[in-house]
Structure 1
């Protein structure tokens, strides 16, 4: 190394040599730190009876672990099995003797070995018990006068004394203890084969209770004589849990007695886990605990947690599996504000056990995760908006909805929304009448659902402009009578609204079903009979007045129960108006159809006539328009009607009207059907104006056409009301 140090041109070589020296030194130190294992002395108990379970531990003195442990009995290797169990762990090895017998006596040696060597230590085990033959004596056949050698070799503890005598053979068993395992439901046979001189008797006990041969219940006992003694057996069919236990058989003859023990172990699925509890719940998870069940004589492999939703339509069964070491778990991915059912079952090598009792729990709520759907806004007169919507999808409620917030603000304003509270109902749709707003003003409307946890997201804003005029006031509705299938209603209307009202709309529904609509004409006697109802059912109903300015606010909603008991019935598909005389013959559909065709021809003739005299009528057009305004309560273009002016005072006398049509028109309807009702279509009020434009104006024949149209429309409304009634029942 000095030679290397004298070379300044190679300084790295010196460093490498020095490093190598320290590495070799550390390696040598490490080698000397290792040594062979050293076993601590061990011993067996001094007094061991047959049937006892014995355990002895072979441990090391040194800090080093052994690579392997081995056990010998009388210099023969021992392996884990039914008689012995060996458990090795680091610095020690445990030998367990399952049920000691006299054959278990002997010299036991523990051997520990690692890379550096080995060590061994022995101890003697003596099991007290009856002497047993090392070699079973056998009969010897010898000729007279010949010599014979008979070997008598026995073992036992204390060491037996051997004496020779000429005796008979007592009853005895070669195997004193036996374990029998059987699956529940199978059949099993337990045998006791006793040796000795006959006659011999064998009796059976189960858990110290005597089994009678006359009445053994599920056990059948059979005995038979063998060449060496007597064999007795018990047969059990369909083994169940109650058959677990210790069976003993006692053999007796004139020269002695002996006993044999059989342990019957019934293997079955585990029992149901007990004391299943829901310890903690959150919005999307829950903690479940339980107590360990009876294992069924086979170790539990795992637990299965089954759970499902407990509301609405049937839901899918969910399962979670946990190890047998756990008696609690947390279930995740649950729905907030939802009712669940949970149960636990155990499983071993035999199979799945019975499930525990069901436990119910409710997860905590979260704010709704979706906004209301199908939001619509309708202007209802000056400063009033009618808002309709549906609840968010049920799986996004995250609990039970408590209600809604209807938010509104002027579109041109930068202020935040003002909210109105609406209580949740179980209906398919919700509605709210927002009143006292500015006239002819644009508003933005949103709807928000909320539950106990808070509010969800807002719906998309919908803009709507309020009207500048008010519709009729709401009717004052009351019920005057009811029967099993009818409800009679009456109402009062503000007198100032009489001229603008065209018809009424009755809304009704049975219990929580959808609303049905019936159109009622504007009649003098404000009474109506709602027919074809279900006996013994609860109905809700309210009334609205309709006009060209819009529908009135709903009347007070009334709840009425029809007479009789609830049950199935055949539906009458017609609704009638009470308190009115029967319609004239010409007002019925079979007569109205040809009459309507005739009216159409008359109108065509009138139009042609008007065209022929157009020049003569030109100077009188303004006067004719004034007369037209007198005939119709509304203007042609939808604007408010002009005040009536007496033509006689402003213009010269009009020329005579055109001649009447070649055939007479039907007489006008009764006074109960006013002009607004007679000229109003059922569904679209705006169409009434368009239809008026198709008639000729300014002659008696034209007025006759108008009256005819009133008759036709009146009959149409009556028929349409019946169709509505039919449709509602069919729905």
Structure 2
């Protein structure tokens, strides 16, 4: 059985414990927790939260060396719950002037606690514009992209739709980067002397605050047309059918020219009929029956005449005329 003095001591300890539990919010040590509640994008609205577990304290925000006061863009929210009190700093239409270090002060009696955070204002990356180029082969040309964002890093160019296999090394490009403003830059890809293989699409790219920023610029290398004869077929005594593949050099073909060479003759003969530029096949007519022929084909566009493509073998016309003929197109 407990002595009377021991019972009094136990009751006192129990009372002290209950007093601590019910008044916990008044005896915790003073500390400050600060946080940024949204991404600090330029033009957006953000909030900086300052919390303390103690309810009976005074709070204020400092930016740089000055107290933050309410303006048309800055406001404050104060409040508390059962476990903490807070002072929220709201900034609307964020600008670069707002970036830097913010400190929340909390004072209770002679105790002062602080919490700080710093942020840089960012601008989500985007492509403002791209510039394509049309230029003759062997001429200089340049492509350009204007990108917006802050920060933008790792600006580069690469060929679009090209897969490098094995030990193939990705092409190295000569490009420049110029700053237009705090949030805009322009990059240009230079080609001192165009080659036919330079024709195609190119990607200008950079790393923005939310990930890659990619634009597409197209380079059109203008060249004379190139022809590749695919099919040669004799269709009777006086006709030969041709079908070909065309690289128009990025300029429409204006017309085709055909020459024929009869085995045993001394020279090529121009075919008199005009072949329209839209064709990729044609039937050469009015040839001699039972005669071996070679054919030359050439195309012309605004840049000039391409290289003649000829058949390596002779094709011999028949002695009889066919009723059914392939269609030119």
Instruction: Tell me the TM-score normalized by structure 2.
Output: 0.53
Aligned residue in 2 for 1:293: 148
* Residues 286 and 363 in structure 1, CA contact (< 8 A), matched pair in contact too: no
Contact 2:174 2:190 in 1 (8 A): no
Q: Distance in 2 between matches of 1:306 and 1:211?
A: 50
Supply the distance in 1 between the matched residues of 2:255 and 2:310 (Cα, whole angstroms): 13
The verdict on how the C-alpha distance between 1:302 and 1:506 changes in structure 2, with shifts beyond 3 A counting, is closer
Mapped contact 1:346–1:353 kept (Cα < 8 A): yes
Flag the 1:401–1:460 CA change in 2: closer, same or farther, 3 A.
Answer: farther
Q: Once the two structures are superposed, what CA deviation does each residue of 1:463-502 show, in whole Å capped at 9, x if it has no partner?
A: 54686xx97xxxxxxxxxxxxxxxxxxxxxxxxxxxxxxx
Cα distance change on mapping 1:465 and 1:359 into 2, 3 Å: closer
- TM-score of the superposed pair, with normalisation by structure 1: 0.27
Q: Confirm whether residue 418 of structure 1 aligns to residue 273 of structure 2.
A: no
Contact in 2 for aligned 1:201/1:252 (Cα 8 Å): yes
Within the candidate set 289, 312, 326, 1:460 is matched to: 312
Work out which structure has the larger RCO, using CA pairs closer than 8 Å and 6 or more positions apart in sequence. 2
Quote the residue 1:8 is aligned against: none
Structure 2 unaligned spans of 5+: 1-31, 62-67, 165-169, 178-186
Report how far residue 431 of structure 1 moved.
Answer: 1.2
What SS class does the counterpart of residue 389 from structure 1 fall into? Answer: strand
Q: Secondary structure at the match of 2:296?
A: strand
Pairs aligned (count): 260
SS at match of 2:211: coil
For 1:271, what is the secondary structure of its paired residue? Answer: strand
Residue of structure 2 in register with 1:328 after alignment: 188
Equivalence map 1:375-390=2 (5 Å): 375-380=232-237, 385-390=238-243
Aligned counterpart, 1:374: 231
1:405 aligns with 2:257: yes
Q: 1:405 Cα deviation (Å)?
A: 2.4
Give the drift of 1:388: 0.3
1:432 corresponds in structure 2 to 284
* Residue pairs, 1:509-658, within 5 angstroms: none
Question: Could you tell me how far 1:364 is from its partner in structure 2?
Answer: 0.9
Distance apart, 1:372 and its partner CA: 1.4
Paired residue for 2:293?
444
Q: Contact conserved, 1:422 with 1:432, CA < 8 A, in 2?
A: no
The aligned counterpart of 2:50 is 191
CA distance in 1, matches of 2:219, 2:317: 48
User: 1:228-267 CA distances to partner (integer Å, 9 max, x unpaired)?
Assistant: xx9745499xxxx95973568698999xxxx999653256
> Partners of 1:267 and 1:251 in 2: how far apart?
29
* Match among 212, 218, 221 for residue 353 of structure 1: 212
* 2:128 is the alignment partner of 1:274: yes
Structure 1's unaligned 5+ residue stretches are 1-174, 214-220, 309-315, 472-503, 508-513, 516-731
The superposition leaves residues 74-116 of structure 1 with CA deviations (integer Å, 9 ceiling, x where unpaired) of xxxxxxxxxxxxxxxxxxxxxxxxxxxxxxxxxxxxxxxxxxx
Q: How does 1:146-161 map to 2 (within 5 A)?
A: none
Which of these two proteins has the greater Rg computed from alpha carbons? 1
* Cα distance in 2 between the residues matched to 1:418 and 1:324: 48
**SS of residue matched to 1:412:** coil
* Match of residue 144 from structure 1: none
Mark the CA change 1:210 to 1:406 in structure 2 (over 3 Å): closer, same or farther: closer
Measured in 2, the distance between the counterparts of 1:250 and 1:224 equals 19
Shift of 1:347: 1.4
Query: Within 2, Cα distance between the matches of 1:333 and 1:364?
Result: 10
Closer/same/farther in 2, CA of residues 323 and 418 from structure 1, 3 Å limit: closer
Aligned equivalents of 1:506, 1:303: Cα separation in 2: 58
C-alpha distance in structure 1 between counterparts of 2:285 and 2:242, whole Å: 12
Residue aligning to 1:264: 119
Classify the secondary structure of the residue corresponding to 1:454. Answer: coil
* TM-superposed deviation, 1:460: 2.3
8 Å CA contact 1:307–1:341 kept in 2: the answer is yes
What is the CA deviation profile of residues 578-636 of structure 1, one whole-angstrom value per residue up to 9, with x for unaligned ones?
xxxxxxxxxxxxxxxxxxxxxxxxxxxxxxxxxxxxxxxxxxxxxxxxxxxxxxxxxxx
CA RMSD for the aligned pairs?
5.8
What is the aligned counterpart of 1:210 among 64, 74, 84? Answer: 74
Deviations 1:528-572 (A, max 9, x none): xxxxxxxxxxxxxxxxxxxxxxxxxxxxxxxxxxxxxxxxxxxxx
Q: Deviation per CA, 1:128-187: give whole Å up to 9, x if none.
A: xxxxxxxxxxxxxxxxxxxxxxxxxxxxxxxxxxxxxxxxxxxxxxx9xx99899779x9
In 2 relative to 1, CA 225–323 (structure 1 residues): closer, same or farther, beyond 3 Å? Answer: farther
Structure 1 position 329, deviation (Å): 1.6
**Within 1, Cα distance between the matches of 2:212 and 2:244?**
44
Equivalent position SS for 1:455? coil
Greater strand percent: which structure? Answer: 2
**2:291/2:317 contact within 8 Å kept:** yes
Map 1:215-226 onto structure 2 (within 5 A). none
Summarize the Cα distance change of 1:181–1:445 in structure 2 as closer, same or farther, 3 Å threshold: same
Distance in 2 separating the partners of 1:360 and 1:188: 43
Take 1:192 and 1:251, find their aligned partners in 2: how far apart are those partners? 9
Distance across 2 between alignment mates of 1:207 and 1:362: 55
